[in-house]
Structure 1
Amino acid sequence: MHLMRGGSPLSAYRDYYPALQQLSGPQPPSYRPDRTPYRPYLVASRGGHGTATAFVRDPDSTLQVWSRDRGYPGDGSYLEFHKKHFPGGLRYWRVTDAKVDLGGKQLYEPARAQERVQAHAGHFVDLLRGVLTANPEGPHAVVCSPYDTELFGHWWFEGPRWLAEVFARLPQARIAPVDCVTYLETYPPDTTITLLEGSWGEGGDHRVWLNPHTEWTWERIYGAEDEFWTLARQAGTYATEPARRVASQLARELLLMQASDWQFLITTWAARDYAEARIAEHHATFTRLAQALRRLLAGGAMPPAEEEFLAACEAQDFLFPDILSHVAEACRVPAA
């Protein structure tokens, strides 16, 4: 919502990743209270009539579900995520209390947890009804409540059952669940706004992805991007089957290197070593494939060792089989 209204962003993720609390950044932009989050907006970056549409995240329902301290997942009856039995890794304990260390966790009671699931589902539906009733948008008001899917069943074991209970209660509360496309077909937006710069991350800006711990990743990514598009603009890249295969895999490695999860995992310490290794691995693979492609463009052949390496890369990561046609379209180069 801070990208639409300004002001301080929601900080639900710091409950799950304490390292985020150590980040600092600029002050949030000024607050715009005249914009409601309960309607979609057309979006334009340079004025005029927008063509893209933005739904705004509802703060009340977001924190009620996402926040470990203030939301449902932190209830003492729910399954404790962090305490696992060794060996095997199974979880037998409940949250008990957020301030109790792992040694003080009590045994999990499924029936007790199910009672809380039902209570929290009823509370959430009442919350939605209150928001919609008090909203000046009237019957056209829409509450947008997006969550990371990893919350349900991963961080919050009972989350999927809670979702089922919520949907079962919506008709009685006269609340209609709706997807974005269906809502827009019925109530198309008529107000255009310009969104502020920002993100969904801690601080509402870019500090999670760009900070002293992640600067080195961007040096590699930016260099790889420049090299890729230089090669992609050459017609020879699309002229032969070996060149097309190498270029396609080069594009895949670039996409994998660009995944924003790597910086997130580094900054939060959730899996720093793994993320750093993945970026280094994809960068090394990209560099080797780029050398092979330059050799082919210069009229050289594909050595057997490089052919084996390419085949191994394709076996490991073969997403987007037709990726090169889209690259050619972006470069306006005829693809063979």
Structure 2
Amino acid sequence: MLLNHSENPLKEGQKVSREIKGYLTFTLHSHLPYVLSHGVWPHGADWLNEATAECYIPLLDILYSLEREGIRPAMNIGITPILQEQLKSELFVSQFRSYLAQKKGLALEDERFFRKLGDRRERLARMWYEYYSRIETLFEEAFNADLLSAFARLQDSGSIEIITSAATHGYLPLLGTDNSVYAQIAIGVSTYKRYTGKKPKGIWLPECAYRPRYLWKNPLFESAKGINRRGVEEYLDKAGIKYFIVDSALLMGGRAIGVYLERYEALKRLWQQYERTYKARPEEPRSPYRVHYCTSRGSESKVAFFARDPKTALQVWSGEWGYPGNGVYLDFHKKNWPSGLRYWRVTNPKADLGEKLLYEPENVEGVLFEQSEHFANLCYGILEDFYAKNGIPGIIVAPFDSELFGHWWFEGPLWLKKVLANFFFSPVYSTITASEYMEQFPPVEVIELPEGSWGEGGFHYIWLNEWTRWTWKHIYEAEQTFVRWANELLESPDHNLRRILAQAARELLLLESSDWQFLISTWSARDYAEQRVCVHSEAFKEIISFAEKYNASGSLPDPLWERLSYYEERDKIFPDLDPTLWADKVVGIIG
């Protein structure tokens, strides 16, 4: 079963009157690469099934619970376009139903086995059976097997704001052409419109990675000729995006705190290599508690941005000394064989798997209360100090991967609910969506941001290093090839050529997913990621060969049309994709 939610004393229709001194905005970034039709277990569709059962449905559950209690969450939920496509897929719905049935069956098997042994894990196996049964009920009855619509209803009621992202989570600063940057953003906007009926106001840049306008050189070749590249914000402006989020180090200087290092041993080794040449920017007296405008030198575009608060971030991110590392919480790593269910608690962050003690869910509630109070009071102190110095309400921006809540940190959704309720009942502090704050307190300062991300050190080494250089070679070659075809298609009304190139574009987008470099660098699913790079690179080249044959003869033999249909069914994403988005005239390339 899900841990019990605390009853909230707010009665229906009751209002809380207050003069606000400061705001908190949670921004949860929901993303998984395209895994449907590309494996199930241990790598593939079960990633999506796990995230749905342990994160997306529990988050929806607490958000709707808050609504029923008269509490407006007022937070931002990012759902990447490629995740939206998967959550709307009939294949996902079918596989998720099978996944839940399997998990319930495994829990029952464990329960029977532990009962025979007189093992205390028997009650925990029953907990898991009840948990997955409740997830199943929520999925089928509360959300009608349509999670995107469930999130959209929360936006329509004013409880949350949904923001978009790049189409397949391409790492925008390293993409080789502005054409690709624009296409990733434009498809992110069009997919959002298709599923919500609205235009997105905000965007989560993949890995919070930003690049300004400058003379860019291909990082694979030292002698590469420089190319005038527009800043990422220029294409956000072109697409109608009003704001994005960056790490505080891009705004203030200093060392980026990173978000992944302690979770992946391979990243620690990479960081030790990179750190030898790394120098943090000098700190600058800028506040992350206000919204600013971003622009590039020589550009007329400006887009607002918010900066992650460094003081509160590690309280939630860190599994070592942050909230998720508390010994009473369910341990993520130790699993029972063969069921894969988890029966142990963290015990302490330094405990090895053999030292883990059994999970005791009855001890969780008190810790959740203490930690939610601690976080709220930490925020209140920051906001009080900012208000006293500046005379206007500041904003704490708390961006996290959604999958932290419920997947990595099983109790995370309930902690989140308690924090949101705490702010709702505060007489002088409140939660707010990012766009609401921007409307009430518009940016006044225009800043030229440096290049960077929220990775350790603030730059790109997680995604471009000795292990991943080869992937970028394939990406850059495919990008250049496709721009030439998009330019040609812009002058051609041929429907068949458009169909061929649309599927080539889908394979290019999937090839550009930043997930592959991340998985290679962390060694968490390296073989799978390397295979996916090869799969989409080879598919792209094959489909481009179809375009060449079609262009030469005006037709294709039936086996090649059948092969194209296979790719269209396997990688069934972005049905309204327009391959001319990559054309120079559409993008507005500068010379």
Aligned to 2:515: 261
Shift of 1:95: 0.2
- 1:133, distance to aligned residue in structure 2 (A): 1.0
Given residue 97 of structure 1, which amino acid in structure 2 is its aligned partner?
Answer: N
Q: Is the 8 A contact 1:50 1:192 kept in 2?
A: no
Q: After superposition, give the CA deviation of every residue in 1:257-278 in whole Å (9 maximum; x if it has no partner).
A: 0011110110011111111000
Distance 1:138 1:67 in 2: 32
1:5 counterpart (228, 232, 252): 252
Q: 1:47 Cα deviation (Å)? A: 6.0
Aligned pairs for 1:264-275 (under 5 A) are 264-275=518-529
- The structure in which a higher percent of residues are strand is 2
Give how far 1:180 is off.
1.0
CA positional deviation for 1:4: 0.8
1:151-170 CA-partner distances (Å, limit 9, x unpaired)? 01111001111111111111
What residue number does 1:16 align with?
263
Distance 1:49 1:140, change over 3 A: farther
Question: 1:218 and 2:501 equivalent?
Answer: no
Given the superposition, is the C-alpha separation of residues 196 and 309 from structure 1 closer, same or farther in structure 2, using an over 3 Å criterion?
A: same
1:303 aligned to which of 553, 557, 573: 557
Closer/same/farther in 2, CA of residues 218 and 48 from structure 1, 3 Å limit: closer
**1:64 alignment partner, one of 288, 312, 315:** 315
Counterpart in the other structure of 1:179: 433
- Name the counterpart of 1:111: 362
Which runs of 5 or more structure 2 residues have no equivalent in the other structure?
1-247
Q: CA deviation at 1:238?
A: 4.4
Deviations 1:208-262 (A, max 9, x none): 0110100000000000001111111114884323211111001110000001111
Partner of 1:152: 405
2-structure distance, mates of 1:278, 1:138? 52
What percent identity do the matched residue pairs reach?
43
CA apart distance, 1:115: 1.8
Q: How do residues 73-88 of structure 1 correspond to structure 2 at under 5 angstroms?
A: 73-88=324-339
Q: Which amino acid aligns with 1:296?
A: Y
Q: What residue identity is the alignment partner of 2:464? A: L
Structure 1: runs of 5+ lacking an equivalent: none
User: Residues 163-189 of structure 1, C-alpha deviation per residue, up to 9 Å, x if partnerless?
Assistant: 111111113333211111111111101
2:393 is the alignment partner of 1:140? yes
Contact 2:580/2:586, CA 8 A, preserved across alignment: no
Alignment partners' CA distance in 2, 1:242 and 1:48: 39
Q: Which of 3-12 and 275-284 deviates more?
A: 3-12
Contact in 2 for aligned 1:49/1:192 (Cα 8 Å): no
Return the alpha-carbon distance in structure 2 between the equivalents of residues 320 and 271 of structure 1: 26
Secondary structure, aligned partner of 1:301: coil
Distance apart, 1:283 and its partner CA:
0.4
Distance (whole Å) between structure 1 residues aligned to residue 442 and residue 280 of structure 2: 28
Distance 1:110 1:290 in 2: 55
Shift in alpha-carbon separation, 1:309–1:236, aligned structure 2, 3 A: farther
Counterpart of 1:227 (choices 481, 487, 508) is 481
Give TM-score scaled by structure 2 length: 0.54
Counterpart among 414, 431, 456 of residue 202 in structure 1: 456
Aligned partner (choices 84, 90, 100) of residue 351 of structure 2: 100
Over the aligned positions, Cα root-mean-square deviation in angstroms equals 1.8
Greater alpha carbon shift after TM alignment, 130-139 vs 236-245: 236-245
Matched pairs, number? 333
Contact 2:490 2:580 in 1 (8 A): no
Q: TM-score, normalised by structure 1?
A: 0.94
